[in-house]
């Protein structure tokens, strides 16, 4: 990996910098966690609704 990144170095420094910025991975991870937790909460919500309907 070290090789490929530095080989492209001369070609386009700006492009490399954008590729090297891994902030998107952090946003992706946070999004996955929140979507996952929200989906689970919606499931719980449905369960409560079911119980409410029966009582």
Binding site for other proteins (CB under 8 A): 1-3, 5-7, 9-10, 13-14, 16-17, 20-26, 28-30, 32-33, 36-37, 40-41, 44, 47-48, 51, 54-55
Rounded Cα distance between 15 and 2, Å, is: 16
User: How far apart are the C-alpha atoms of 13 and 19, rounded to whole Å?
Assistant: 10
In the complex, what is the shortest distance from the CB of residue 49 to other proteins, in angstroms, rounded to a whole number?
11
In angstroms, give the least distance from the CB of 25 to other proteins.
4
Distance (Å, whole) CA 17 – CA 45: 44
Nearest distance in Å: CB 12, other proteins: 10
Q: How far apart are CA 51 and CA 55, in angstroms?
A: 6
């Amino acid at each position: 990996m070290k090789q490929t990144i530095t080989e492209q170095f001369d070609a386009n420094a700006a492009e490399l910098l954008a590729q090297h910025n891994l902030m998107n991975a952090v946003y992706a991870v946070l999004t996955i966690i929140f979507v996952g937790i929200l989906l689970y909460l919606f499931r719980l919500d449905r369960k409560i609704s079911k119980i409410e309907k029966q009582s």
